[in-house]
Structure 1
Amino acid sequence: MDGEIMREIAKKYLKEFDELEKKACNEEKKFIDGYGKKIENIFSEKCQSMFKEIENIDSISILPEYEDKLRKLELIYFLLDEKGFDYAKHMMENVTEGNKWKTEAKIRLLMMFVKRFYEVLYLLKGGLASSALDRARGMYEIAVYLEIIINNNESVSEKFLKHCNTSRLELAKCLGNQQIIEEITDQINDFNDDDFYKKNNGWAKELFPHNTRGISFKNLADITKFKQYYFNYKIACLSTHATIIDSVQGIELDKGSKGKNIWNTGASKNGFEFVFSMLFSCSCEILIDSLESKSLSNAFILVCIKEIGSSNKKGN
């Protein structure tokens, strides 16, 4: 029930900004005289008003000190979900033969990103920052892929999407079903019979024409703005794999417990700020780049995320 209330609040504010845009902007999305100076105050007022409306909604967090922030972030999820769905619908209505692969790649990645956003919040509510960081790691990967898809041609998008057949092939090999293995191999070869394509990240070969050994995920991250957060991504990897260091130096341990023999299997209040930092950095850049329309509603969501992020830096 609370989720339904939040979704309706999100819809209401998105609609308000869509209506305001008709009054405040011309066809080129530029402000009509008089609105440019007002809009910043409108964003701030509406952001505070929206957060005020959800103050009494229970976020069901086991950690009271993070309840307000998680409640606000859940509202951000509904804003992203509603706006993302509308944006995907708009893209599908305008798909052409020349952009069909890029359109599908962007929609799928954006949908995956929004879903991961909600998964992170769900785990944080339970005090499971390390598990949430695992899902935030996936958000980082999606952000890297999405920037590459947006900034490159249709061919890269097609190769990216069809490269998922290599994952199917790995699964078929695990099952040991030779018929399925041959069928999938034929599908891959019909599209691209280059052995390099079958390697991890082989879809990105044209972006690294001099690379003959193989493309790592770090290679991909390094050609995006997200390279500045790569260290955080590597820390997140510790929460994903069975890495002993996560039990010794993991984000859920306080300073006094790190490096010691501590039995730690329950919920923890530690590590939240690190997860938030990944969430904010990825979400802001995704909003700026993937929702290409310069609409006021997009800008409003960005303002709200930054407002929560600024309180995060202050430690509130």
Structure 2
Amino acid sequence: MEWIKESKFLRATLLIVLLGLLGWLSPFFPLKVIVAFLGILIFAFVLREYAKHLAGFIVLGIILFLIPSSANYYSHIILENFQNWLHLPFVSEVLREVKPSKTLQLPPKLSIERVTNVELRFVDAKEIRVPEELTVSSFDEEIRISGGLTNRKYVIEIGNQGLKELRVDGTAISLTGDCSIELLDINGSAINLKGKMVVQRLYLDGTGVNASGSFEGDTLYADGTGVNLKGEIAFETVRIKGTGISFDLTLINCKSFNVDGTGVNGKVTHTGQGNLFVRANGTGGKITVRNQSNAEIFVESSGIRVVRE
């Protein structure tokens, strides 16, 4: 064991592994967040002598943070296998998934509030299906869903026919499927968005924001400690703000693309008819810009290197 004591790198690696196991096994999501960033700080401190760019560590932080955040939704599958092998009855209870069991008529407006872990699925229907454990309050043109236990993941199926506005406020939020609505406003610690969505106004505000797929509308605003975006974006105005920002986007008929972050690493491909204005502000990083249209790309940058291809 002397070789471990003499190696600072190995000691730090073992500590990071232990922190990772603690965060992975913990059902309390804020603890996962704290553990993830502790691991990032320890890793950066140990390798500081090799660091050339601050942005590299920040973008690494996005990866190290978003992977545990996403794993929060799938770790119960692995843990249930441990339960079968070790006969641990508490595992499935701690991470139990609660499926929808009650059907309601879908209103134009839907709000989901104070639900710790929720998985939202857009389906081709005119109804909404929710678990019995959640509290449902009905108003003239709106349904509000709240409650639930912190050690449950609630699955809610939302019809995409007739819905105009969806607001979600929780801790770990996953949203998948296809939809066409006027407003989507999500606020949470870990946000995972995937699908083909037409949303006139899309707002994502969270500690970790991860979105992939095809998104179309008027305005996209994403704000988070770690922001990771990938796919096709057809918004006139895009604004991304965060500490660590990573993206690989194809912009379709986008007029304004604004990025404001500490560490930024991304690629944008401009397609469409009109000119694109790119404004980037940050401490460090690199943005690669590709122009596959007949229009012009105008760039204003401070602290971030912009490379044209």
| TM-score, with length taken from structure 2 | 0.30
Query: Between Structure 1 and Structure 2, which shows a larger proportion of strand residues?
Result: 2
**Higher relative contact order at CA 8 Å, sep ≥6: structure 1 or structure 2?**
1
Higher helix share: 1
Relative to the length of structure 1, the TM-score reads 0.29
